[in-house]
Structure 1
Amino acid sequence: MKYASLAIHGGRREDAEIKGVNYPLYLSSTFVQDSIGDYGEFVYSRSNNPTRNNVEQLIAQLEEAKYGLAMASGMGATALAFSLLKPGDKVLVNSNVYGGTWNYVSRVFEERGITYEVVTDFNHYDFDKATADTRMVFLETPSNPLLYVTDIESVCKKAHEKGMLCVVDNTFMTSYLQKPLKLGADIVVYSATKYYAGHSDIIAGAVVVDDDDLYTSLKFHQKILGAILSPFDSFLLTRGIKTLPVRMDRSQENTQKIVEYLEKHEAVKKVYYPGLKSNEGYELQKKQATGSGACFSITLNDNFDSVAFCNALEIFDLAVSLGGVESLVCHPASMTHESYSKELQDEIGITDDLLRFAIGIEDVDDLIDDIAQAFEKARK
């Protein structure tokens, strides 16, 4: 089946007694066993639950992978990948990643005896200079919030030559637009809260992997750490995935029209979006993905006030997150990336006038009109 059909019909198909079009919600913490020593697939829901297993299989199938693991949040997914690290290991991480990831790297790593190196540009990083204790590469592409595009295939190849694992946060793209495992990544992580769930009503994470040994280790840590996705949220996540392709298509279509409008507007200094030909990552994005997603960032010219602009918006909500049916705007320096020091923000370009947009599925003319009237009110 092609992606759009698999999104609706994938997952577990074993429950044959009552054939509902939706997989059942199993609200049971424990499951009856046939006899001592004869244990079934499901024993206790922290270890495995049918509804969670259904969405795990669905996410894996959409990625064309063997295994999926559903977590209680996107940070739970990232933490699960980091659970593979041991004291003395080192991680290479790209400079603009999600603020929660940066908090983990900059604070929790130290507590665990793990070191890290911030890489500004993985596309030109010299892996020969990486120290022997470097165990993992962790990257987002396109990155958050500057939408920098990293060559996944090239980076993974060079990292593997040095014996490193490659982890890719694919939240902005989903497997609908980009499949990092096919490009050489070892592990893919998601904040499934975003495009997979798609309605801003649950918190969820996912980890996808092909390697049997990696899966065994990750599954063990999922069970022991216990940060699993609840049955009800698993059910809602499955429901959200069913409409992922149509939602993403509409959001991308809206985004392309909006960024083309913004690129020519007098209020805008720069648009960060790899779907624009003027963006340095445009060709690379076309090479490794089938789209550029529905998030972008802008900076405003000096004669427009970003605070007044955000306050004047009527359809766009000022809120963190992305991937829902509604359009959002946020101020990364004080919202999603507030955990970055001011020095690091300045170094990588997260300025006070940077705004990140997540485009939903509203009528695009309404969205453009809303932006236009807000610009007028933001004029100094």
Structure 2
Amino acid sequence: MARGINTKCLHLEEEEGCCNNYGSISFPIYQTATYAHPAVGQSTGFDYSRLQNPTREHLEKIVATLENGIDALAFSTGMAAITLVMELFKPGDHLIVDADLYGGSIRLFDNVSAKNGLQFSRIDCWKEDVESYVNENTKAIYIETPTNPMMNVTDIAALADIAKRHDLLLIVDNTFLSPYFQNPLNLGADIVVHSGTKFLGGHNDTLAGFLVTNREDISEKLRFLIKTTGSGLAPFDSWLILRGIKTLGIRMEQAQKNAFKIAEWLKTQKAVTRVIYPGLPEHPGHEIMKKQARGFGSMLTFQLESPEFALSILSKVRMIKFAESLGGVETLVTYPTTQTHADVPEEIRERNGITRSTLRLSVGIEDAQDLLEELEKVFAETEEELNGGKKS
């Protein structure tokens, strides 16, 4: 009988009925760098923690189960995971990548991967003819869906068909929805990327990254690379992510409920010129997300009438924190222009719709009414300030 995802967040079916680790309910932190061998040619199964550690291995099995993959690898950060996946390619290889990506990914591709001889076509995968960009040296398609921060939604299954026709890898960053709401491998992707710092960890207290695959050949290559580069996740951080995953489902559900309420409230504000949330029926990707995901998540972006209005909001929030990152229990508001996308050239930001009036909201699990009351207060104070002290 298939296990539900909330059960998978807590239990590995293969370990049920066992009484390992002295019966400890919380999986132990194996804080060790190396392991003793009984004799030459004999091993406990672990040799050196750069290669593998029991705590990290347990976490990787949980994440692989959640994404319906055969293997997951845990990294020190999300960017470490993306950096390693780029090592699957060689100089001269061409990748088609989405135009609207997390700024750190764009920085990596433009300043490190390009230096190493990789070639990129940056396009709007959600609306352009992706297949027309495939050429003889194209090796992969790389997307986020929804994208960061403009929440563009790409049809994963349609891209998977293109990738398979041309023998390309399809790599999907699933950070915004987590495996609770979306499983790209089920839709034909070859590799799934996560910043485990975000929803998987869920508490803004550690960094992590993941790569998950359902292909043995890719797993073998990635295992060789993580062993060689040494970017695996440390034992204590692995334990923190394990602890966070236990509440993934209830956090995702509560945060999504809050996001719906805030999105609807933002639509009523005259200072807001656009609300971008895939859960809204008017979002162009709404129907695709209904088809390929089990929810819409808790990330939303909105445009304000002026940069001054945006900056004033950032200076006035109190319970809502003006901070980078996303996916934690606390609600965070981010200014992409100077934070997540600061290193992205201005022309690219503007092409993607990121302006000095753009704010991104990672909605947390606070009581929705408290979040709305803070937003109402901040908006009212900003309107009065910008109107010269006169209430509108």
Counterparts of 1:308 and 1:179 in 2: how far apart (Å)?
38
Letter in 2 for 1:88: G
Counterparts of 1:12 and 1:31 in 2: how far apart (Å)?
24
Counterparts of 2:367 and 2:50 in 1: how far apart (Å)?
42
Aligned to 2:4: 2
Counterparts of 2:119 and 2:172 in 1: how far apart (Å)?
19
Q: Please say if residues 267 and 304 of structure 1, whose CA atoms lie closer than 8 Å, have aligned partners that are also in contact.
A: no
Counterparts of 1:238 and 1:134 in 2: how far apart (Å)?
37
Aligned to 1:157: 161
Letter in 1 for 2:292: Q
Q: Please say if residues 202 and 233 of structure 1, whose CA atoms lie closer than 8 Å, have aligned partners that are also in contact.
A: yes
Aligned to 2:323: 319
After TM superposition, list the pairs within 5 Å mapping 1:6-85 onto structure 2.
Answer: 6-10=8-12, 13=15, 16=20, 18-85=22-89
**1:10 deviation in Å?**
2.5
Aligned to 2:390: none
Whether 1:88 aligns to 2:92 is yes
Normalized against structure 1, the TM-score is what?
0.97
After TM superposition, list the pairs within 5 Å mapping 1:96-135 onto structure 2.
Answer: 96-135=100-139
264-273 or 215-224: which moved more?
264-273
**1:302 deviation in Å?**
4.2
After TM superposition, list the pairs within 5 Å mapping 1:186-225 onto structure 2.
Answer: 186-225=190-229
Letter in 1 for 2:223: K
296-305 or 184-193: which moved more?
296-305
**1:321 deviation in Å?**
0.3
Q: Please say if residues 21 and 28 of structure 2, whose CA atoms lie closer than 8 Å, have aligned partners that are also in contact.
A: no
**1:117 deviation in Å?**
0.6
Q: Deviations over 1:29-71 (max 9, x none)?
A: 1112222112332111110100000000000011111101000
Counterparts of 1:117 and 1:30 in 2: how far apart (Å)?
43
Counterparts of 1:119 and 1:140 in 2: how far apart (Å)?
12
**1:17 deviation in Å?**
5.4
Letter in 1 for 2:270: E
1:173 counterpart (160, 177, 180): 177
Q: Please say if residues 11 and 56 of structure 1, whose CA atoms lie closer than 8 Å, have aligned partners that are also in contact.
A: no
2:310 counterpart (306, 310, 328): 306
Whether 1:228 aligns to 2:232 is yes
- 3-state SS in 1 of match to 2:23: coil
Q: Please say if residues 201 and 242 of structure 2, whose CA atoms lie closer than 8 Å, have aligned partners that are also in contact.
A: yes
Letter in 2 for 1:98: Y
Aligned to 1:274: 278
- 3-state SS in 1 of match to 2:10: helix
* Counterparts in 2 of 1:121 and 1:62: CA distance versus 1, 3 Å: closer
| Identity, % of aligned positions | 36
**1:122 deviation in Å?**
3.9
Q: Deviations over 1:155-203 (max 9, x none)?
A: 1111221111010000001110000000000000100000000100000
**1:377 deviation in Å?**
1.7
* Counterparts in 2 of 1:126 and 1:244: CA distance versus 1, 3 Å: closer
* Counterparts in 2 of 1:129 and 1:240: CA distance versus 1, 3 Å: closer
**1:16 deviation in Å?**
2.2
Whether 1:296 aligns to 2:297 is no
**1:6 deviation in Å?**
1.4
**1:19 deviation in Å?**
1.1
Aligned to 2:382: 378
Q: CA RMSD in A?
A: 1.4
Aligned to 2:187: 183
Q: Please say if residues 34 and 47 of structure 2, whose CA atoms lie closer than 8 Å, have aligned partners that are also in contact.
A: yes
140-149 or 301-310: which moved more?
301-310
Counterparts of 1:108 and 1:302 in 2: how far apart (Å)?
35
Letter in 1 for 2:275: V
Letter in 2 for 1:133: N
Q: Please say if residues 126 and 153 of structure 2, whose CA atoms lie closer than 8 Å, have aligned partners that are also in contact.
A: no
Q: Please say if residues 256 and 275 of structure 1, whose CA atoms lie closer than 8 Å, have aligned partners that are also in contact.
A: yes
* Counterparts in 2 of 1:225 and 1:321: CA distance versus 1, 3 Å: same
1:244 counterpart (241, 244, 248): 248
* Counterparts in 2 of 1:15 and 1:236: CA distance versus 1, 3 Å: farther
**Unpaired runs of at least 5, structure 1:** none
Counterparts of 1:129 and 1:212 in 2: how far apart (Å)?
28
Counterparts of 1:108 and 1:303 in 2: how far apart (Å)?
32
* Counterparts in 2 of 1:284 and 1:62: CA distance versus 1, 3 Å: same
**1:371 deviation in Å?**
0.7
Q: Deviations over 1:298-329 (max 9, x none)?
A: 00124971111111112111000001110000
Normalized against structure 2, the TM-score is what?
0.94
Aligned to 1:368: 372
Counterparts of 2:184 and 2:21 in 1: how far apart (Å)?
37
- 3-state SS in 2 of match to 1:21: coil
Aligned to 1:343: 347
* Counterparts in 2 of 1:343 and 1:128: CA distance versus 1, 3 Å: closer
298-307 or 36-45: which moved more?
298-307
Counterparts of 1:82 and 1:11 in 2: how far apart (Å)?
33
* Counterparts in 2 of 1:11 and 1:333: CA distance versus 1, 3 Å: farther
Counterparts of 1:197 and 1:338 in 2: how far apart (Å)?
25
